Amino acid sequence: MKKFFYHNSLSIVFLLLFIGAFIGQIFFGIEEYNKELLESGGHAVTMSNYLTTGHFIEATFENWESEFLQMALLVWLTIFLKQKGSSESKGFDGDEEVDREPSPNRKGAPWPVKKGGVWLWLYKNSLTISLFLLFFASFVLHFYGSLKDENTANVLKGNPQLSLVDYLGESRFWFESFQNWQSEFLSVFAIIVLSIFLRQKGSSQSKPVDAPHSETGE
């Protein structure tokens, strides 16, 4: 068990941080939502009911959407684009280990590599495909939650409910998306540029402390 935690400590810590933050979101989210409902003349909801509200669904998947978009674009664009001096970029001199064609004869090669054909093509692009699919799923759920929350507010105000098509033309959903996308793109820009000049000893996201600023990659 000790060996398992040692080998998976990075993912375990981030999973625990996610669970803790998710619980915090739910705890404070239902408090905020019930406050809004009571101020609008509605009735407070229970925890189980809150988890099906547009307020919870929108808030959750609005953030997931931008995170998966950021990661998908970073993985995909670093295939073609480079940044001199950044630890997040491939180097400029020739191909690297990640560029070589996979060999089915390599010891421990995953089964799609040994199978070849369409399975190999899918596996060669599986990380990017998976991240874009997660983005698309989160985008759809964000839209659903945002529309549901908007219509809940409309009911409380006595206004007509919006259809799916009508809501696509509303500014709220797109504002929610773009305000998150811009922050994620800024954070990626920051790590790409800051890693040219700044270091963190021991981190896989940093170049060696004594590496020149002009050196690209780890």
Q: How many CB atoms lie within 10 A of CB 17?
A: 10
Which tokens in the block code for residue 44? 């407070």
If we measure between CA atoms, which residue out of 128, 170, 126 comes closest to residue 147?
A: 170
Q: pLDDT (tens digit, 9 = 90+) per residue, 32-91? A: 999 999 999 899 999 999 999 999 999 999 999 999 999 999 999 999 999 999 999 888
Q: pLDDT (tens digit, 9 = 90+) per residue, 103-126? A: 889 999 999 999 999 999 999 999
For the chain, the three-class secondary structure string (H helix, E strand, C coil) is CHHHHHHCHHHHHHHHHHHHHHHHHHHHHHHHHHHHHHHCCCCCCCHHHHCCCHHHHHHHHHHHHHHHHHHHHHHHHHHHCCCCCCCCCCCCCCCCHHHCCCCCCCCCCCHHHHHCHHHHHHHHCHHHHHHHHHHHHHHHHHHHHHHHHHHHHHHHHCCCCCCHHHHHCCHHHHHHHHHHHHHHHHHHHHHHHHHHHCCCCCCCCCCCCCCCCCCCCC
The whole-chain average pLDDT of the chain stands at 93
Write down the pTM of the prediction.
0.92
pLDDT band at 218 (very low <50, low <70, confident <90, very high): low
pLDDT above 60 for 100: yes
pLDDT above 90 for 97: no
Instruction: Tell me which long-range contacts 192-196 makes (C-beta under 8 A, separation of at least 24).
Output: 192/83, 192/86, 192/88, 192/89, 193/83, 193/86, 195/86, 195/87, 195/88, 196/83, 196/84, 196/85, 196/86
Predicted pLDDT at 96 = 80
pLDDT band at 25 (very low <50, low <70, confident <90, very high): very high
d(CA 163, CA 151): 9
